[in-house]
Chain A
């Protein structure tokens, strides 16, 4: 029994990370039908927010509070200057956001240097769960991920903005005819997605190497999450994260990391063949 607990918790950690990163992506991609290839860099900027805050003497919790504002400001700027002019040209959005991602990556590297950033988590040590010690910070991460996903679900389901968003997703023109300011809904949704990505970046940072190129690893896997899970909102993100993260972390015990990622790609492609709209279609 005790040897299965860390296996399970490791899977849960990866699933939580994927859920956090894919949630912001799903808001933008699944709901607005916009592929934001700079999403990985939004995560990176969250991680750098933590590094910068701690370098200036602040603590982890301050960075966690600041990150959503940094992310939202970045998201709003990107939406205003680039994305809103391209809503009718999906391929153009891919190319433009990819370019933006490269500019952000290289900009961060030129400003901060190529060496990994120093970050520290708020908790050290381990907690004993069913007789097996497990790092406390990872448990915190899992808790935060669940809380954020539930908060998004609630906001999506029960707030005025959530209602407007759902209306715009279902029929943009009809929503506009009913008096919903669709442009405003889109910019807020984009800002929200970027804010969640930045928070994810802060939460992930203590577990990984914080460098300018870190975002790309999360980008590809979270697209799998969205593709496998489907664009059915929060349920799709949860299902996709469970499949992608669960498979990858369980395979990691049997085969090298590269092989397990390749196998997850194969799994994703096979799932797409038989359920092109994902496990939880809209």
Chain B
């Protein structure tokens, strides 16, 4: 953070707050690593899925949060990773020792390739903002159509079952605890990596593009190239999340590529706070808990709730649910000041 803040005097209070923050991060990591020690396999597998959804939400946050352009079709890339993994590892008849790893890489490459082609045409064509949002929305719709319609390859409505667990150098990630630890390691690595990349000059270039692309361009930055790189990298991370998800559940289904998931991932990012990188993980966890509670009453209530949430978000907490806490604090301070 130091090279981002304008030369603050290193007072004791500031360094104390920083130490507290790092302590909190360390405690969080220790808690997550030790979690399987006192929890059953089901809870561990659930947290594994939440972490994967958090990783997926992180990929959207890297694009939406850092460039300001909303992708309404990010489940396309999650789904391409998932389907790439499923189709390559099941249908191609590869050596089982390598099939899952090839599936993982193939799924990620497929998603990045699609993002590269779509992104090149749109971003270099000058398509921005709301237009890009609409095209990505159409992309996810069509991806869903293809996943359901092309049943010879994708298994149609019922999807593909029997995706093998991930195997790396002879080690099979079959046990939920092993899968959980793998996902945790991947998620922390990518979160840390993106945080490290975005903290310095590069993060400020992205902020400049979000703020005013024309000005950033005038200053000599190749802004379409930056946006394309972020888009393709984001698609790759989303696909990684999708492929990992499939190795855990063992099957691929059309709801991993469709509109509903594209909508939900926006909600995860919005709940956790856009542009915060760590927020999407918190958002995914909170929404996952909420979904279990609401769906246990009536499954039809969940889409209704999402719809109302989107409307409420725009009017009540445009900067994420966590900003409500800030606002409540401020209100209470003002109220006490007036009294």
Contact = CB atoms under 8 A, between A and B. Distances in A.
A115 to B, nearest CB: 14
Interface string A48-83: 000000000000000000000000000000000010
A178 to B, nearest CB: 28
B27 interface: no
B314 A265 contact: no
Interface stretch (B116-124, B170-178, B288-296): B116-124
B125 A100 contact: no
Contacts of A100: 307, 310-311
A49 B315 CA distance: 30
B302 to A, nearest CB: 9
A180 interface: no
A211 to B, nearest CB: 14
B142 A262 contact: yes
Interface in A104-152: 104-107, 109-110
B166 to A, nearest CB: 30
A223 B308 CA distance: 24
Given A99-B309, A261-B145, A262-B142, A86 B314 contact: yes
A278 B133 CA distance: 17
A37 B311 CA distance: 12
A258 B139 CA distance: 12
A95 B228 CA distance: 24
Contacts of B126: 276
Contacts of B308: 99, 103
B311 A82 contact: yes
B31 to A, nearest CB: 33
Most A CB within 10 A of own CB, among B146, B270, B314: B314
Interface string B309-321: 1111111001000
Contacts, number: 124
Interface string B262-276: 010010001000000
B135 interface: yes
Contact of B121 (A103, A259, A261, A270): A270
B259 A107 contact: no
Interface string B110-144: 00000000100110111101110111011101100
Contacts of B129: 90-91
B135 A269 contact: yes
A103 B311 contact: yes
B131 to A, nearest CB: 6
B303 interface: yes
A66 B199 CA distance: 58
A94 B303 CA distance: 17
A98 interface: yes
A147 to B, nearest CB: 28
A227 interface: yes
Contacts of B131: 227, 272
A273 B122 contact: yes
A273 B124 contact: yes
B121 A272 contact: yes
B153 to A, nearest CB: 12
B149 interface: yes
20 contacts: A35-B134, A89-B314, A91-B133, A95-B310, A98-B72, A99-B311, A103-B304, A105-B307, A106-B303, A106-B304, A216-B141, A257-B145, A258-B149, A262-B146, A265-B139, A272-B127, A272-B135, A273-B124, A273-B125, A276-B126
Interface of A: 35, 37, 82, 85-86, 89-92, 94-96, 98-107, 109-110, 216-217, 220, 223-224, 227, 256-259, 261-262, 265, 268-270, 272-274, 276
